[in-house]
Amino acid sequence: MNGTSNQWTGPYLTVDGRAFLVVGAEVHNSSSSTTRAIAASFDAVQRLGANTVLAPVAWDLFEPTEGVFDTHLLDAMIEGARSRGLKLIPLWFGSYKNASSSYVPAWVKRDAGRFPRAVLADGRHIEHLTPFAAQSRDADARAFATMMRCIAEVDAAGSVIAVQVENEIGLLSDSRDRGPLAEKRYGEPVPASVIDAVAGDRHAPLHAGWVECGSLTTGTWQEVFPAGDRLDEAFMAAGFAAYTQVVAAAGRAELDVPLFVNAWLDRDSVLDGPVALAGGKRPGQYPSGGPVMPVAAIWEALAPDIDFIAADVYVDDAEPVFAGYKARRGRLFVPELRADAPGLLQMFSAVGSHAALGVSPFGVDHYWPEDPEGGLLSDAFRLLRGAGAVIAKHPDARIRGLLLDDVTPSAQLPIGDIRMTVHSAAESDPASPTRPAYGLVIDDGDNAAWVIGRGFWITLTSADGQAASLLSATALDLEGDDLVPVLQLNGDETASGTRIPFPFAGIGLVPGRPIPTRIPDTGIVHIAAYVV
């Protein structure tokens, strides 16, 4: 089963009865390991202006003794989010974190007989629980269910809006587990659900191999699929997905909130056909069996309690990744991405061009808004929360992304019968004329829209080239979770209805002019236009 329908408004989470854009901030791995660290990191997230904090719940700290659960850190996270006006997405660091089992409790680590490890081709046992051991799976599921029960009991305010199950699952250093439990499973018939998933996903790399082997509907792994890395990856995906399903279902029985898993992509992800693949390296060089595009259909078939698959994005060309993951279930979430300038551009692309339900740069809790990068990030959070305020009231409105640079210095977007041209920032930010510009445009009926962003200016014409001008232009800013008017723009601020600048933060006056001209520096303007 998937999460109930009232948890979703189109591609967005439903929170407090409205569509909610997750403007997230993921804290460092250790930033929720003590109450002092939780207070400091959650303060940082609030200071930067995100609306949601993503923070780990570590199995070893949650269940230090088997069957004895320590909930004080989880309680502190829930209260810390509530008291700061933040939403919370706990990240369950259970059996798997970054393709390792380093967050399992000591009583699991010390008992390899009961909780067996994966084995590599050279015979080495590694710090990685094999996904084919029921004892490990069931222990993880009991702990996860207890965490979800605690949330249900403590979180009366509804601060927790989703939960990540495990973290960057997969196997490194080999394409598949070679341990005895894995070898036994490898010699058994392929589950029918796996065959159906591969048969139905024509873009999956293994699909062609399945066809070449005769499109068999029964048989062992080596009978149904050709030998090689893709077979091994599919085998591991089936193991990890089935394992995760048991964990997820146990948790959902205690608390029904959206559940997701996240994928560690190959750093050189490429586009292979119409979907994004973890493509430059072999499975095992990136986590084999993790929820990447080549095996996404297997994950969806064997882990139905996972509502969507998310991608951790640390690649330069994120567009095919965004498109590929959005295409799976119409939902895109980026729980980790870079917190620097390139990552900032990707945040706006994900939300604007792919209607992402949310974005969350990683490790931001050491930033300060007064720092250069922290200031850019804080401003981006504010702009995206402004977009979220619009989405909350207009979840079905068309949303489009803007990205201008030296390669693409301008763009044209239709807004009803009006054509809006978006220009580079040369006139609105003379100090940084070549700085990449970014933003969003959200339609508001005929010839009206919210324009949000930095580093550009807009002009208007009609669709057939006639003159067009502004009926109104209202600069807005956040007040709590809502947008409120701060300036009604006209005259000098709009060049008499013909142009509106969207400068980078901190530029409130156009320098070098004999008559000082104020320009709207909130970065959020609602426009309505007409044909002259």
| Amino acid 506: pLDDT | 61
Instruction: Tell me the pLDDT tens digit for each residue of 302-330.
Output: 999 999 999 999 998 999 999 999 999 99
pLDDT tens per residue across span 182-239: 999 999 999 999 999 999 999 899 999 999 999 999 999 999 999 999 999 999 999 9
126's enclosing H/E stretch is strand 125-129
Residues 82-91 have pLDDT tens digits of 999 999 999 9
Q: Tokens at residue 36, please? A: 């002092």
Q: What are phi and psi of 103, to 5 degrees?
A: -100, 5
DSSP for 304-363 reads TT--EEEEEE--S--HHHHHHHHHHHS--EESEE--SHHHHHHHHHHHHHH--SEE--BS
- Which is it for strands 308-313 and 336-337: parallel, antiparallel or unpaired? parallel
Pairing of strands 22-26, 358-359: parallel
For residue 175, give every residue at least 6 positions away whose Cβ sits within 8 Å of its Cβ, in sequence order, or none: 229, 232, 233, 236, 282, 283, 284, 288
d(CA 514, CA 66): 74
310 phi, psi to nearest 5 deg = -110, 160
**C-alpha distances in angstroms, 229 versus 154, 214, 281, 397?**
45, 19, 11, 43
Report the amino acid identity of residue 105.
Answer: P
The angle formed by the CA atoms of residues 405, 406 and 409, to the nearest 5 degrees, is 65
Report the length, in residues, of the chain: 532
Using the Cα atoms of residue 265, residue 268, residue 269 and residue 272 in order, give the sign of their dihedral: negative
Segment holding 88, helix H or strand E: strand 87-97
Handedness of CA 123, 129, 132, 136 (dihedral sign): positive
The yes-or-no verdict on residue 347 having pLDDT over 70 is: yes
For tokens 């504010």, the residue is 382
Closest by Cα among 10, 29, 33 to 20: 10
Q: What is the mean pLDDT of residues 66-80?
A: 98
Binned at pLDDT 50, 70 and 90, residue 269 comes out as very low
Contact 489, 447 (CB under 8 A): no
Q: What is the CA radius of gyration of the chain?
A: 25
114-164 tens-digit pLDDT: 999 999 999 999 999 999 999 999 999 999 999 999 999 999 999 999 999
Question: Is the predicted pLDDT of residue 41 greater than 50, yes or no?
Answer: yes
> Does the pLDDT of residue 402 top 90, yes or no?
yes
CB atoms within 10 A of CB 88: 25
The answer to whether the CB of 80 falls within 8 A of the CB of 32 is no
14-19: average pLDDT = 96
pLDDT number for residue 274: 34
Return d(Cα 217, Cα 465) in angstroms, integer: 59
Tokens of 104: 């399992």
Range from 62-76, 388-402, 447-461, 494-508 carrying the lowest mean pLDDT: 494-508
Does residue 424 contact residue 493 with C-beta atoms inside 8 Å? no
Please report, as a single letter, which amino acid is at residue 342. Answer: P
pLDDT attached to residue 492? 86
Q: Tell me which H or E stretch contains 246.
A: helix 229-252
Residues 423-456 pLDDT 10s: 986 545 555 545 789 999 999 998 999 999 999 9
Interatomic CA distance for residues 376 and 504, integer angstroms: 9
The pLDDT score that the predictor gives to residue 31 is: 98
Single-letter amino acid, residue 167: N
Amino acid at 96: Y
Handedness of CA 64, 68, 74, 79 (dihedral sign): negative
Beta strands in 176-242 (DSSP E): none
Domains of the chain: 15-393 (3.20.20.80), 399-531 (2.60.220.20)
DSSP class of 227: S
For tokens 């930067």, what's the residue?
A: 48
Percent of the chain with pLDDT over 90: 83
In the chain, what is the straight-line distance between the N-terminal and C-terminal CA atoms, in Å?
A: 55
Structure tokens, 141: 């599921």
Rounded distance between C-alpha atoms, residue 235 and residue 203, angstroms: 18
Starting at the edge strand found earlier in the chain, the sheet holding 12-15 runs 8-9, 12-15, 18-20
